[in-house]
Amino acid sequence: MSAKILITRKLPPDVERRAETFFTIKRNKGDVPMDQARLVELADGQDGILATVTDRIDAATIERLPATIRIIANFAVGTDHVDLEAAARRNIIVTNTPDVLTDATADIALLLLLGAARGAAQGMAAIRENKWANWAPTGMLGISLTGKRLGILGMGRIGQAIAKRAQAFGMKIHYHNRRPVETVDATFHATLDELLEQSDFLSINCASTAQTRGMINARTLALLPKGAIVVNTARGDIIDDDALIGAVKNGHLAAIGLDVFNNEPNIDPGYRALPNAFLLPHLGSATLETRNAMGFRALDNLEAFFVGKPPRDRVV
């Protein structure tokens, strides 16, 4: 008999079709993000869960999961929404989907860098609200990427893919990471403070962990040169919203570009009031090709596990 898998959100059709050929699937009809109680209820009688970023699988949820659950295959690279220690305590394996979303997410980071630097949000508003009076030599002046220093916080796969793209735009790459990465042509900074002092642009690409949460706050933002631009394609909780909004309002930052937020989708309304904030609704991996690849990778992990092989992307 095939293993029973709860899929917590609607997935692309090709992924769902493949899932059905290997497993007996239980779905979240309606595709609404589930609260913990509903997740535990639907997990009843299942062997595994194919979960994603809208599922807050904290320690209390993991403790209440039925004993039949042996694996949580995460449809995302980030696993900050799953309490990994609690999963380990219950011998539940957790997997993620690295590699397959690197390029799509790096593309969105470049979109944010360009969108923020070139005033794309104001430009689009001018067109949509029919307020574009005429072309003016001094109108809507942005900031060039060429020749500027891009500081990358977190030089993992996505950070490296952003570095490659930004180099093609003529940017000089600086980074802070737990350790230097030999394969990148970039300047390593042993501390975040040192990186910030050298960054005309800052791209946040580290995982959300106890160490990185709130790392971008009033103190650290003040270390950036005046007129810097901050973009985030990692996780919202690495940033202190009040501090970031304050730094844009008081002119310390020229602009920001965000694809991820605290408390998505109920973002701090202060962001909407900033004309120089280029904002996207967590689109990092949102192409059909990438979402298919993420789904297939999550299924690779589940299929391996249920035929008794080690899943390739085990994080716990």
The residue among 74 and 220 lying less far from ligand GLV, judged by its C-beta, is 74
Which among 7-15, 59-67, 76-84, 273-281 is the span making contact with ligand GLV, rule CB under 6 A?
76-84
Q: CB under 8 Å to 285, separation ≥6 — which residues?
A: 76, 101, 104, 105, 291, 294
Instruction: Rule CB under 6 A: say whether 76 interacts with ligand GLV.
Output: yes
Write down the number of H helices and E strands in the chain. Answer: 11, 12
The residue among 78 and 159 lying less far from ligand GLV, judged by its C-beta, is 78
Which among 22-30, 71-79, 116-124, 182-190 is the span making contact with ligand GLV, rule CB under 6 A?
71-79
Instruction: Rule CB under 6 A: say whether 77 interacts with ligand GLV.
Output: yes
At closest approach, how far in Å is the CB of 75 from ligand GLV? 8
Cα–Cα dist 69/5, whole Å = 9
Other residues' Cβ atoms within 10 Å of the Cβ of residue 40: 19
Please indicate whether residue 194 is annotated as part of the active site: no
At closest approach, how far in Å is the CB of 300 from ligand GLV? 16
Q: Which of 157, 213, 264, 314 is catalytic?
A: 264
Which among 8-16, 58-66, 70-78, 135-143 is the span making contact with ligand GLV, rule CB under 6 A?
70-78
- How many chain residues bind ligand GLV (CB under 6 A)? 7
Helices marked H in the chain — which ranges? 13-22, 36-42, 59-64, 84-89, 102-117, 120-128, 157-168, 192-197, 218-221, 241-249, 288-306
Cα–Cα dist 76/52, whole Å = 6
CA atoms lying within 13 Å on the CB side of residue 303: 12
How would you write 140-175 as a 3-class SS string? CCCCCCCCCEEEEECCCHHHHHHHHHHHHCCCEEEE
Q: Which of 189, 235, 291, 297 is catalytic?
A: 235
Distances 122 to 27, 114, 117, 129 between C-alpha atoms, Å? 41, 13, 11, 10
Instruction: Rule CB under 6 A: say whether 82 interacts with ligand GLV.
Output: no
Applying the rule CB under 6 A, the residues between 194 and 253 that interact with ligand GLV are none
H/E element holding 278?
strand 277-279
Please indicate whether residue 235 is annotated as part of the active site: yes
Cα–Cα dist 316/116, whole Å = 37
Cα–Cα dist 222/227, whole Å = 11
Instruction: Rule CB under 6 A: say whether 285 interacts with ligand GLV.
Output: yes
Please indicate whether residue 264 is annotated as part of the active site: yes
At closest approach, how far in Å is the CB of 103 from ligand GLV? 13
At closest approach, how far in Å is the CB of 239 from ligand GLV? 15
Candidates 5, 65, 101, 145; binder of ligand GLV (CB under 6 A) is 101
Candidates 48, 115, 151, 284; binder of ligand GLV (CB under 6 A) is 284
The residue among 119 and 236 lying less far from ligand GLV, judged by its C-beta, is 236
Helix (H, G, I), strand (E, B) or coil at 71: strand
Instruction: Rule CB under 6 A: say whether 109 interacts with ligand GLV.
Output: no
The residue among 75 and 119 lying less far from ligand GLV, judged by its C-beta, is 75
CB-based contact 33:57 (threshold 8 Å): no
At closest approach, how far in Å is the CB of 85 from ligand GLV? 19
Residue among 159, 155, 153 nearest 106 (CA): 159
Residue 207, exposed/middle/buried by CB under 10 A (0-12, 13-18, 19+)? middle
At closest approach, how far in Å is the CB of 33 from ligand GLV? 14
The residue among 31 and 44 lying less far from ligand GLV, judged by its C-beta, is 31
Binding positions for ligand GLV, rule: CB under 6 A: 53, 76-78, 101, 284-285
- Show which residues are catalytic: 235, 264, 282
